[in-house]
Amino acid sequence: MAGRIAVVGCGYWGKNLVRNFAELGALGAVVDPRPEVAQALATTHGVRALSLEACLADPTIEGVAVAAPAELHAEVCIAASNAGKHVFVEKPIALTVEDAERMKAAAEANGKALMVGHLLRYHPAFETLADMVRDGAIGAVRYAYSDRLSLGKFRVEEDVCWSFAPHDLSMLLTLMDADPVSVTATGVDIVTPGVDDMSRIEMAFPGGARAHVFTAWLHPFKRHLLTVVGETGMLVFEDSAAGPEKLRLYRHGIKRGDGAPEPVKAEAEYVPYPSEEPLKRECQHFLDVVEGREATPRTSADEGIRVLKVLTAASASARRASTQNA
């Protein structure tokens, strides 16, 4: 696979893709509008610094990993698909469902894959948690919630839910194995007028299960926490915790008698999971798709569109709530 993937966009996150594809022996080129950035990475990893046009015209490049600003995703990814490249694009897949559908159609028309970078779907702790839920370890899921909180990095061009929540929505939609029947949201802008620094998205699912996502970059400490409440137990994936404590199972019960229900508490059970870098697993999955070992990406265009529809509905709901409260 040596030299068959080009990374388009080598900024804050793109440089991590460059590193991982290089370590996997698959990096062939880097593309960035800043020549000095592209050339520095190209020299470090012994690959070529190309323009986007040259990259897409190069028959030795089989796939591109796009870490450009979200407003450019549709343009770059459609061009790459039409050039016969497999495409990996960072979240969110696009800024509008219409653009995302066009991206999917272009990939399908050219017989190429379109994979979305929902990183935490490839975290070994989440994969283990999802397998346990699927196998009935905590019974039917009744409620799940995710907190993605930190102090900064502040954005001025997008709300915190668009920056942070795609990862959490991808995990929750996977666990619920369904699309929500309703989405409501609220947001608060404190640092930059018109840009929400805190956001809460509420979802209801078929059968009565519910979930919420709380995101903020105006929070005193880092907290990345997914909690899944089932009928017979609870699972916690705390990515901000120390390694062995990231994944925990609680076999709490409820004692029911003549009076009020009483909790029957149990100690946390630490669940083992493979110790591997999520981003490397994600990049390897893209390579497996490119090489035909996987028929379709786990985080396909369809999943990217499902997440985007929730984000779009949440933004509309938050705007309505803000107008009503003004």
pLDDT digits (tens, 9 = 90+) for 45-75: 999 999 999 999 999 999 999 999 999 999 9
The Cα 212–Cα 192 span in angstroms is: 24
Find out whether the peptide bond into 91 is cis, omega within 30 degrees of 0. Answer: no
The Cα 234–Cα 266 span in angstroms is: 11
**pTM, entire model:** 0.94
| pLDDT over 80 at 322, yes or no | no
Q: Residue 326's pLDDT band (boundaries 50, 70, 90)?
A: low
pLDDT digits (tens, 9 = 90+) for 97-111: 999 999 999 999 999
How would DSSP label each residue in 209-254?
A: -EEEEEEESEEEEEEEEEEEEESS-EEEEETTS-GGGSEEEE--EE
pLDDT of residue 264: 81
pLDDT digits (tens, 9 = 90+) for 222-271: 999 999 999 999 999 999 998 889 999 999 888 887 778 888 888 999 99
pLDDT of residue 2: 58
Measure the N-to-C terminal CA separation of the chain; round to a whole number of Å: 56
- Classify 5-112 by CATH class: alpha beta
Architecture of domain 121-278+309-325: 2-Layer Sandwich (3.30)
The strand pairing partners of 269, in sequence order, are 249
pLDDT of residue 141: 97
| pLDDT over 70 at 299, yes or no | yes
pLDDT of residue 279: 97
pLDDT of residue 19: 97
Q: Residue 42's pLDDT band (boundaries 50, 70, 90)?
A: very high
What does the domain layout of the chain look like in residue ranges? Answer: 5-112, 121-278+309-325
The helix (run of H) or strand (run of E) holding residue 258 is: none
pLDDT of residue 265: 85
Q: Residue 325's pLDDT band (boundaries 50, 70, 90)?
A: low
Q: Residue 153's pLDDT band (boundaries 50, 70, 90)?
A: confident
Averaged pLDDT score across all residues of the chain? 95
| pLDDT over 80 at 3, yes or no | no
96 close to 300: Cβ distance less than 8 angstroms: no
Across the range 79-84, mean pLDDT stands at 98
